[in-house]
Chain A
Amino acid sequence: MNLVQILFYVMAFITLASAIFVAVSKTLVRSIFMFFITLFALAGLYVLALADFVAITQIVIYVGGILVLILFAFMLSGRETLDALQKQKNQFISANKVAALFLAAIFFIVLLNMVLKVDADHLPWITNAIKTNNVITPTSTTTDNIGINLMTRYLLPFEAISILLMMALVGAAHLSRKEQTL
């Protein structure tokens, strides 16, 4: 058991524990701030999977963009949501929650079964990649390669997603503007 594996287990534990806290927390603000921790730990997992550029992007976009957006929406939607949350406190175990827990547990068993059966480390294309030395090693620089690939092989998806992002942002601005005539 080397240091990388220990770090992986620590990161995985932080991710799952904070995600469970997000799921069961009664106060919305606290669960949003714990979601920060989940995203940071996920970025750590990406680094351990040798994807440092994706990890940085995760921190910049998720933590810098999406979470601030969620906080804004929460602050703008006022006290009503807080009151609705307080009401849930009386009924700790409701039928809704038991059903959701059951569904999630069943789904987890199915996924776990699939993961253990598929034996992901010995898939044909992965053994082929190892054989042809097509594996990212801790010393290889991936960011240069990502930039080159983004401008050559993945240029069409890149442009398409830029247009989609612009459409989504214009649409969001249009939706959230105050209506003059209702």
Chain B
Amino acid sequence: MISLADFLIVSAALFCIGLFMVVSKSNAIQILIGIELMLNAAILNLVAFGKYDRLNNGGQLFALFAIVLAAATTAVALAIILNVYRRYKTIDPNKVDKLRDE
């Protein structure tokens, strides 16, 4: 069978690609995709370790909860991005630098 180390290496690479996107992109939607990649790397780890818990399904259920949490955060984050776009006419996080109303 596939060893756990293989899964861990794949998820580490995925996490680092997500980190690269979060740091380097200047578009809020692409940063959100980077966060999703990092979340997916974590979920891959949970699922890989969940193989060794047949009775309680700890890893797989935690992965399901993480997927639902990711959906909730994405919905709220996209609503915030739309609001920011409506107010600033840009979604570049570097240009959104005012806390008060215009």
Interface residues of A (CB under 8 A from B): 4-5, 8, 12, 15-16, 19-20, 22-23, 28, 31-32, 35, 38-39, 42, 45-46, 48-51, 53-54, 57-58, 61-62, 65-66, 69-70, 72-74, 76-78, 80-81, 84-85, 88, 96-97, 99-101, 103-105, 107-108, 111-112, 115-116, 119-121, 125-126, 129-130, 134-136, 140, 142, 145-146, 149-150, 153-154, 157, 161, 164-165, 168-169, 171-173, 175-176
Given A80-B89, A115-B9, A146 and B82 contact (CB-CB distance below 8 Å): no
Q: How many CB-defined contacts (below 8 Å) exist between A and B?
A: 241
From DSSP, what is the main secondary structure of chain A's interface residues? Answer: helix
Which residues on B sit within 8 Å (CB–CB) of A51?
47, 50-51, 59-60, 63
Given A120-B5, A172-B76, A142 and B60 contact (CB-CB distance below 8 Å): yes
Q: Which residue of A lies closest to B84 (CB)?
A: A77
> Which residue in A77, A97, A168 is a CB contact (below 8 Å) of B75?
A168
